[in-house]
Amino acid sequence: MHRPDRAWGWLPSRCAVCQSWPQAPLCDACISRFAQPQHRCLTCALPLAHLAERCGTCLKSPPPLDLCLTATAYAWPWVDLIADYKFHQRPGWVGPLATLMLSAPWAEDTLDAADWVLPIPLSAQRLAERGYNQAWLLARQLSPHNADAHLLLRTRDTPSQRSLPRADRLANLVGAFAVEPLRAAQLRGKKVVLVDDVMTSGASLHTAARVLRQAGVVHISALVLARTETHHDA
């Protein structure tokens, strides 16, 4: 499948990380240095020190995701770049960040196999504050033909998740997502990829995945730009 990100061009500029000139906004050297592929659990994307496919926690309590992929760890320099993209009105970063996401192992094959590519939705209040949903911009860039911002809905605003432990994050999100009722039949028997910028505890992705599973989705993957290296109970 052709994706516009592969043809994404750049005008002469400095790399945002190393400041080299002239370079792409994210130069190949910095991507190679700071986004090295890691062996990760296939269902929670946390790093694994051994060659197993899944971590012990996921084997004991399988998450609602069939596959979970990330391009990089949520660490410098990506923390600052994602914050600029997300909170400081930098939607132009979507091209290089989506290209970085495609570097995650199995990302392109997973997107090609998907019937729908759905962003984690923002509440109307958050959307009004930011002006755009950063996950939707990424989803549309990654899969322009299968991305949809209206199948999975945010039904209510929730307090910030940042300072909450995982159990409270999950409780915070109960009832926060729903499938568009007039289009629910379009999800039955389908394969879906959920897209978000950062995965911390997985509460948002897991809550959304359960809603999609109830709607009849048969396979759910998550593709995120960055994954925090926290434990499952964080």
Contacts of 191 (CB under 8 A, 6+ apart): 113, 114, 115, 116, 217, 218, 219, 220, 221
**The CATH number of the domain covering residues in 37-227:** 3.40.50
Residue % of the chain over a pLDDT of 90:
66
| pLDDT averaged over every residue in the chain | 88
Query: Among 12-26, 108-122, 187-201, where is mean pLDDT lowest?
Result: 12-26
pLDDT score, position 78 = 95
Render pLDDT for 141-178 as a digit per residue (tens, 0 to 9).
999 999 999 999 998 766 555 555 555 555 556 668 99
Render pLDDT for 67-101 as a digit per residue (tens, 0 to 9).
999 999 999 999 999 999 999 889 989 999 999 99
pTM of the model: 0.87
Domain locations in the chain? 37-227
Across the range 15-28, mean pLDDT stands at 87
